[in-house]
Amino acid sequence: MPKNYTLKQCSQLLQSKQISASELAQEYLNSIEQNNSSLNGYITLNKEQTIAEAKAADAILAQGSANALTGVPIAYKDIFCQQGWRSACSSKMLDNFTAPYTATVVQNLLDVGMVTLGRTNMDEFAMGSTTESSFYGVTHNPWQHQHVPGGSSGGSAAVVAARMAPAALGSDTGGSIRQPASHCGITGLKPTYGIVSRFGMVAYASSFDQAGPMAQTAEDCALLLNAMASFDQRDSTSIERQQEDYTRDLHLALNGLRVGLPKEFFGEGLSAEIRSAIDNVITLLKAQGAVITEISLPHTELSIPAYYVLASAEASTNLSRYDGVRYGHRATEFANLDEMYSKSRAEGFGNEVKRRIMIGSYVLSHGYYDAYYLKAQKLRRLVANDFQQALNQCDIILSPVAPTTAPVIGSHDKDPVQMYLSDIYTVSLNLAGLPGMSIPAGFDNKGLPIGVQLISNYFTESRLLGIAHQIQQHSDWHIKTPFSS
Ligand code: GLN
């Protein structure tokens, strides 16, 4: 059975010299060797590089100049460029692409001495909710292998749940950190838009995309966010603000905390088992002195259409750069330049990505721009306003992450719209740019994990993480592993 260390425990073992960074990395590489072939969580490994980074961390630890994260291993979603590593975004289009530079978030973690274990599977270009659209095949849910791990950061969620990494990075455009975290029984945070650099993270929908930590606990997410967040001149939407300590509210008292339940999130379509898991969290919060209030997010039902119009529009422009000229896949046979473009794109992109490009090109085209794109922008504002009104009445919003637990592999093959609809509880937050978390809250009758979502106001990650940590201090859902159940 793999080692069951949290990121914090890894840090303590390293600091107290009970284990070296090289030994710790080797333990995880052994666990990957034993478990990855049945899960397909990692799609790229480079053991020599991992060991070399671990040795460098050992030298820093020996000098006594180490950070809390020095020598702690981590896995990266394949969306982050990392110099010398294939960074394919799980697409055939970038299968031959070795990144010539490193994403700022990855660099920040390398700078504190974290050790790269490998790169994790995802939906192609982060478009999807199941990790089934990957060029490298589906990732299996560690709890039940015939189920998906969620998506698009399904590989990151699966390797943390299967203890093949103490933590991983994911990215969240419309739920891709929170939903796979929920489906795999781990903790994930999507930060406020702009506090984590997007430089070097392959773009899907730039006004939504945000990187975030995925780990066993809220405390681990706080430790990671401390190292990840930074102002970055190379990202025009990066926010310049003072560095914060995101662990500072971990001991927060929940007494008097106002928790809002959005009535629109508890209607038709929500599984009864998920509703009852939320009720258990409500009971826990009340026992700690929190006050529960009903709130309203009246434009909830418009968030899915608004999100899919805007995200597809941005995707269609972002993905126009893949033309077979400078990098990525190029068709081998073509008669002229136009044919080279079209054949390279036809061969390099999978079906879901092509669908998004077509939707995006349509809603941006002359004659439809006002009817769809502009309308969706207006809806985006209404959804954001809903949250601001609601967050005047409560400190935090508690909600489901997804309407069901992880579906069986292949469930959405014939009906992509069904998959889009499953994003109902996650996308609105990205429309508003707000931070949100998924934390474990129990299991369904098949033994599949259930997560709950916590949403708070802009730049209040520290309190959000504190509340999540307090819930975890009073429950044991996050401690369960696929091996112990
Ligand atoms: N499922 C959503 C989509 O397909 C969200 C994906 C994401 O957050 N990257 O667009």
Q: State the pTM of this model.
A: 0.98
277 has a pLDDT exceeding 50: yes
> What is the reported pLDDT for 415?
87
Best substitution site from 127, 189, 401, 424 to test ligand 1's pocket, by max atoms within 8 Å of Cβ? Answer: 127
> Which of 205, 184, 274 is CA-nearest to residue 433?
205
pLDDT of 154 reads 98
DSSP-derived secondary structure letter, 119: E
CA of 3 to the centre of ligand 1 (A): 31
Predicted pLDDT at 178: 98
Tell which phi-psi region holds residue 137, choosing left (phi > 0), alpha (psi between -120 and 50) or beta.
left
If one counts every other C-beta atom within 10 angstroms of the C-beta of residue 474, the result is 12
| pLDDT score recorded for residue 414 | 81
According to the model, what pLDDT value does residue 53 have? 98
Tell me, what's the pLDDT at 37? Answer: 98
| The two three-digit tokens of residue 297, written as one number | 């997010």
Distance from the alpha carbon of residue 436 to the mean position of ligand 1, in angstroms? 15
- Would the CB of 312 count as within 6 Å of ligand 1? no
Alpha helix (H) residue ranges in 200-299: 218-228, 272-287
pLDDT in tens, 352-400: 999 999 999 999 999 999 999 999 999 999 999 999 999 999 999 999 9
Per the structure block, which two tokens stand in for 144?
A: 């039940």
**Cα–Cα distance list, 47 to 25, 52, 69, 77, 170 (Å):** 9, 8, 20, 17, 21
Ligand 1 pocket member 311 (CB < 6 A):
yes
Q: What would the mean pLDDT of 215-235 be, rounded to a whole number?
A: 98
Residue % of the chain over a pLDDT of 70:
99
Q: What integer best gives the mean pLDDT of the chain? A: 97
Is 134 marked active-site? no
Atom of ligand 1 nearest to the CA of 307: 10
Q: What is the pLDDT of residue 64?
A: 87
Of the candidates 87, 156, 176, 312, the residue annotated as catalytic is 176
| Residue nearest atom 5 of ligand 1, based on CA coordinates | 174
Residue 87 near residue 81, CB atoms below 8 Å: yes
Relative to the CA of 128, which ligand 1 atom is closest? Answer: 4
How far, in Å, from the CA of 195 to the mean position of ligand 1?
20
pLDDT at 485: 47
The CATH code for residues 7-251+461-479 is: 3.90.1300.10
Confidence of residue 324 (pLDDT cuts 50, 70, 90): very high
What residue spans define the domains of the chain? 7-251+461-479
pLDDT in tens, 135-174: 999 999 999 999 999 999 999 999 999 999 999 999 999 9
Å from CA of 292 to ligand 1 middle: 30
Choose among 450, 438, 11: nearest CA to 217. Answer: 438
Give the dihedral of Cα atoms 209, 215, 217, 218; nearest 10 deg.
Answer: -20
2, pLDDT greater than 80: no
- pLDDT tens digits, 43-93: 999 999 999 999 999 999 999 888 999 999 999 999 999 999 999 999 999
At 284, the pLDDT band (50, 70, 90 cuts) reads: very high
Confidence category of residue 1, pLDDT binned at 50, 70, 90 = low
| 87 has catalytic annotation | no
With 80 as the cut, is the pLDDT of residue 106 above it?
yes
How far apart are the CA of 238 and the centre of ligand 1, in A?
A: 21
CA distances from 341 to 99, 325, 356, 364, 451 (A): 22, 8, 18, 21, 43
Active site residue 176: yes
User: Using omega within 30 degrees of 0 as the cis cutoff, is the peptide bond preceding 152 cis?
Assistant: yes
H or E segment at 261?
strand 258-262
How far is the C-alpha of 483 from the C-alpha of 485, rounded, in Å?
A: 6
Name the catalytic one among 11, 20, 77, 156.
77
